[in-house]
Amino acid sequence: IQHMLLEYLLQMADSSGEGPVKELVDGISGINVDGKAEPKSPVMEDVLKTPTTPATPGSPISVNGTPSSPGTPTKDGKTLLGQFKAFSKFGDPKSDGKSITLSQSDKWMKQAGLIDGKKITTTDTGIYFKKFKSLKIGFADWQKFLAELTKTKQFDLAEAKEKLISCGPPGTRVKVSHSTGVYDRLTNTNNFTGTHKERFDGSGRGKGLEGRREKSDSGGYVQGYKNRNSYDQSH
């Protein structure tokens, strides 16, 4: 490649052998157009003195040692933006996914477990969200809102983003109830007494109407005789 560049520059050199092209050629090759060895020109010395940063595999191309900015967002940025769009459309079919409301943001944070009613509450989110003086804010402003909220509440921002990314699409979290304490005691049919005990079978399943109504045997020997076999047999 260096030889090809040298030949191209030699073709561009003027017939007098002078000028900036000749100077650059002399600096690259170390020999002038006449074939005599010469020291590198000041132009080439400046080029050689320019610090450069070695490129690493997969890194953006750098110019003068300064890496160029990536043209696409990172993987985590894409995922967080995707979650933002999903929750900004939740409950609002007309939303374009570019801005989010306070209630939608709270829904997202509750599902991610950030809003726990103790360290971070909906009152806190409302205070910082209203600083933007808008009912809806875009993704950039929402990131500023999240950063300020987590900083004030001493919550790690990276951890907060990870929770928001991994909480899944809107409405996927299922809350599991546990029968402990008072609920367990009140639903244990083995502890029931009196008529209330008769409303459930041995497995704890309700008997329905049969457990609520007492039926007596009205069959008897004569008209008006009731409750057969319930009288004292000594008479």
Q: What is the pLDDT of residue 75?
A: 45
Tell the residue number behind the tokens 């050199």, with chain if given.
13
| pLDDT (average), residues 200-213 | 74
Are 52 and 65 spatial neighbours (Cβ–Cβ below 8 Å)? yes
Please give the residue that has the higher pLDDT: either 171 or 90: 90
Length of the chain: 235
Task: Say what the pLDDT of residue 127 is.
Answer: 94
CATH superfamily membership of 75-166: EF-hand (1.10.238.10)
Q: What is the pLDDT of residue 188?
A: 76
pLDDT band per the 50, 70, 90 thresholds, residue 190? confident
Burial of residue 142, with CB atoms counted within 10 A of its CB: 0-12 exposed, 13-18 middle, 19 or more buried? buried
DSSP assignment of 120-158: S-HHHHHHHHGGG-SSEEEHHHHHHHHHHHHHHTT--HH
pLDDT tens across 24-70, in order? 555 555 545 455 555 555 545 554 455 555 544 444 444 344 343 33
- Please determine, for residue 212, whether its predicted confidence score (pLDDT) is greater than 80: no
Question: Confidence band (pLDDT; 50, 70, 90) for 220?
Answer: low
Task: Kindly list the domain boundaries of the chain, sorted by start residue.
Answer: 2-49, 75-166
pTM of this prediction? 0.43
Whether 145 contacts 129, CB under 8 Å: yes
What CA–CA distance (Å, rounded) separates 11 from 134?
64
Place of tokens 């829904």: 107
* Rounded Cα distance, 190 and 180, in Å: 16
Q: CA-CA-CA-CA torsion for 132, 133, 139, 145, nearest 10 degrees?
A: 30
Return the minimum-mean-pLDDT range out of 52-66, 92-106, 123-137, 182-196.
52-66
**CB atoms inside a 10 Å sphere around CB 33:** 16
The pLDDT mean for the chain works out to: 72
| Residues 104-128 pLDDT 10s | 999 999 999 999 888 999 999 999 9
Better pLDDT: 82 or 71: 82
CA distances, 172 to each of 37, 120, 175, 225 (Å)? 76, 22, 10, 64
Q: What pairs with residue 157 in β-bridges?
A: none
Which three-class secondary structure state does DSSP give residue 94?
Answer: coil
Q: Tell me the pairing of strands 62-63 and 66-67.
A: antiparallel
Q: What is the pLDDT of residue 211?
A: 66
For 150-186, write each residue's pLDDT tens digit: 999 999 999 999 999 998 888 865 554 555 677 777 7
Residue 109: predicted pLDDT = 94
Across 53-57, 92-96, 130-134, least confident range? 53-57
Burial of 61 (0-12, 13-18, 19+ CB in 10 A): exposed
